[in-house]
Amino acid sequence: MLDRRSFLKRAAAGAATIALSCRSAGGARAGAGAARRPNIVYVFADQWRAQATGYAGDPNARTPNLDRLAAESTGFATAVSTCPVCSPYRASLMTGRYPLAHGVFMNDVCLSTEAVSFAQALNAAGYDTGYIGKWHLDGHGRSASIPRERRQGFGFWKARECTHDYNRSFYYADTDEKLWWDGYDSIAQTREASRYIREHAGGKPFALFLSWGPPHDPYPTAPGEYRALFDPEKIALRANVPAEKAKESRAMLAGYYAHCAALDSCAGGIVETLRESRIEDDTILVFTSDHGDLLGSHGQRNKQQPWDESILVPFLIRYPAILGRAARILETPFATPDILPTVLGLAGVEIPKTAEGRDISRIVRGADPDSEGSALIL
């Protein structure tokens, strides 16, 4: 394992073919600097709870693209957002650390550069890295541009700290000039992500992070064609929504599912781009969310509370070259700090010494979960 200084030194030297050994038994790719590493496309929404998909059994959800993706992916039944708020999740995602270590306990706090980041680890292994969409890790104002030194190592950049004005949304690239997404920003961001994938297909390995703002409220702002799919009066409520909250909950959920349906179409576009570019087999594709949303369950709204609707998130990972295309569901505990080490483990990239999460890539590859030595003590 390398410390932060060593990682940055290697990245600066452009060591694209350095042989790196994985912290855990990550398979044949680990330590094989000459072998081409898989691409990584990490797609995540904001506030999409685990229950809100067709493949999870939600009768309201219209997610045909994600349902097809789930049918050929490994899914996590217990993927937990460790601290279910935007900035704390993103800090754990980028560092593989728990909030007590990275220090981001609430939104609008700047993540330090103390730890080796996801992008820095990938840069050191020879990847091109890119980020598109919502960042929410800079803490210097939601509309302020983010200088390169605070981008945690990402090279390609079309992002903004935070906005929920999805139909009039701007971003920054390499300068302080405001650039505008065309229409509903998640659709425009997905279009940009597809362009990036096509341009990088067949070259050096790349890792692209695509961060959507929806289905976070405001709920009635999805494109009209998707809003028209959901009648509040016909929304089926979860059993834990109190009767006095039913009308309010149905109104919120109609807009929420409309956003989800729009994002499902976007997810389908990413899958199709990978197929058309002929790199889907050698690409690790992740779909997930930063946290959930209570939406009236338990009589509550938003997140930040330890209910399933708040802390459980969808997590699908597809990597056909290694995992095949059969649907699998893993019950092993999986928390936000585990994402960085597990994805890097699958890719055969050395895991930073500063990361605290578990690398369960062996389990994802098919190893017996009991071999990890976890125990429940009552």
The catalytic position among 83, 86, 260, 266 is 86
* Residue partners of 4: CB distance under 8 A and separation at least 6: 114, 115, 116, 120, 352, 354
Residues 128-157 as b or e (16 or more Cβ within 10 Å = b): bbbbbbbbbbbbeebeebbeeebbbbbbbb
| Sign of the alpha-carbon torsion through 283, 345, 74, 261 | negative
Question: Which 3 state secondary structure label does DSSP give 74?
Answer: strand
Q: Is 333 helix (H, G, I), strand (E, B) or coil?
A: coil
Residues forming a β-bridge with 206 = 128
Pairing of β 39-46 and β 74-76: unpaired
For residues 84 and 336, is the Cβ–Cβ distance under 8 A?
no
| CA distances in angstroms from 35 to 29, 184, 298, listed in the order given | 7, 40, 51
| Angstrom distance (rounded) from CA 323 to CA 198 | 23
The verdict on whether 136 is a catalytic residue reads yes
> Could you give phi then psi for residue 101, rounded to 5 degrees?
-90, -45
Q: Which helix (H) or strand (E) holds 259?
A: helix 246-276
Catalytic option among 22, 83, 102, 136: 136
| Cα 196 → chain centroid | 17
Known catalytic membership, residue 291: no
End-to-end CA, the chain = 34
In angstroms, what CA-CA distances link 111 with 130, 136, 257, 373?
Answer: 18, 9, 32, 32
Structure tokens at 175: 């300068």
DSSP bridge pairs for 157? 131
Rounded Cα–Cα distance for residues 346 and 363 (Å): 10
The percent helix, strand, coil of the chain (3-state, each to 5) is 35, 15, 50
Residues marked as catalytic:
86, 136
